[in-house]
Amino acid sequence: DKTRPVLLTGASGNLGRALAPALTAAGYTLRLTDIAPFPDAVPGGAAFTKADLNDGPTILRLAEGCQAILHFGGISTEHPFEVVLGPNLRGLFHIYEAARREKARVLFASSNHAIGFHERPAGNGELLDADCAFRPDSFYGLSKAYGELMGRLYWDKHGVENLNLRIGSSFPEPADARMLSTWLSYADLARCMEKFLEAPRIGHAVVWGASKNPATYWGKDHRDRIGWEPQDTAEAFREKVGTKVSGDPVTERYQGGGYTAMDYTRAT
C-alpha cells in the first residue's frame, strides 16, 4: 500500500540519508524526522520535521495516518546511561504508542550490540540464531535489547506488528576485518525495508541485518516472513580490510568488537 505515508525517524543519520531517496524512488511517501537538520535536499514528495523523540505529542502527530514507522532515530553508539535513556528508552515508548494508535507496523533498527557479548563463532559452522539470549555489550546495546522487548510486548498485548533488524555494521564499505562478517550494504538494507513494507503479515520478528557474507556469525532468523534475501557480500573487500584487526583480546573475542572492550573492568 503506497498510499499511506511512512514515518522515517533518524532521517538525518547515515542510514536515514541512504533510505530516504531509495524509498522515495520506490514510490513511498515519506515523513522524515530527526533532532538534527536533514543535510541533503529533501526527496520529492517527502517532508522533513525536526523533532525530539522525547516529545511524545509531536511523535504522535508525525505518525498520524502512517502505515509504518521505520525507527532509525536515537543514540546510535555508546554513551553514558543518562544520554541513552531519553531518546532510546522513552523515545521508543513514544514510537510504539504512536504505532498502536495508528495501527502501523514498526521496523526497529536494532543492533548486534544487543547480543555483542556472544563469542565469535569458532569456524566450525556453529552460528548464532536470532532467538539467542540478549548479551548487551554497552548501555547502547542494552537500549536495543529493550527496544526489541518493547516490540515483543506491543505484539503480544496490542497486535502491533514489528520487525527488529539486528544490524551488524551498515556503512558504504566494511572498514575492518570484523565487518567481513557483520557488514550490511545500503542496497541490501533498502531492499529489506521494501520487503518489510510489502509483507502481508509479520507478527514479532527478529532478523540479522547483514549482507550475504560467507564469514557471517549469524544463523537462523525470521527473514522468511518478509522474503528478504541479501545480495551483496563483504568478501569483495577482503583484500582491503582483512589485516585490520585491533590487537585487543576482548575486542577480537566477542561479536560486538570494540564496544565489548569499552570500560571493560572484569579481571578475566
Q: Which grid cell is 99?
A: 504505532
Provide the residue count of the chain.
268
Q: Which residues of 18-27 are buried (b: 16+ CB within 10 A; e: fewer)?
A: bbbbbbbeee
CB-CB contact of 19 with 72 (8 Å):
yes
> Where does this chain touch ligand 15L (CB under 6 A) — which range of 108-116, 147-155, 201-209, 241-249?
108-116
For the CB of residue 118, give the shortest distance to ligand 15L in the complex, in Å: 13
Q: For residue 77, state whether it binds ligand 15L (rule: CB under 6 A).
A: yes
> Where does this chain touch ligand 15L (CB under 6 A) — which range of 29-37, 59-67, 111-119, 120-128?
111-119
Q: For residue 255, state whether it binds ligand 15L (rule: CB under 6 A).
A: no
Closer of 28 and 259 to ligand 15L (Cβ): 259
Q: For residue 181, state whether it binds ligand 15L (rule: CB under 6 A).
A: no
For the CB of residue 143, give the shortest distance to ligand 15L in the complex, in Å: 10
| CA–CA distance, 108 with 165 (Å, rounded to integer) | 6
| CA–CA distance, 33 with 4 (Å, rounded to integer) | 17
Please state, in angstroms and as integers, the Cα–Cα distance from residue 237 to each residue in 119, 176, 240, following that order.
23, 9, 5
Closer of 24 and 111 to ligand 15L (Cβ): 111
Residues with a known catalytic role: 140
Which residues are near ligand 15L by CB under 6 A? 76-77, 111-113, 169, 182, 257
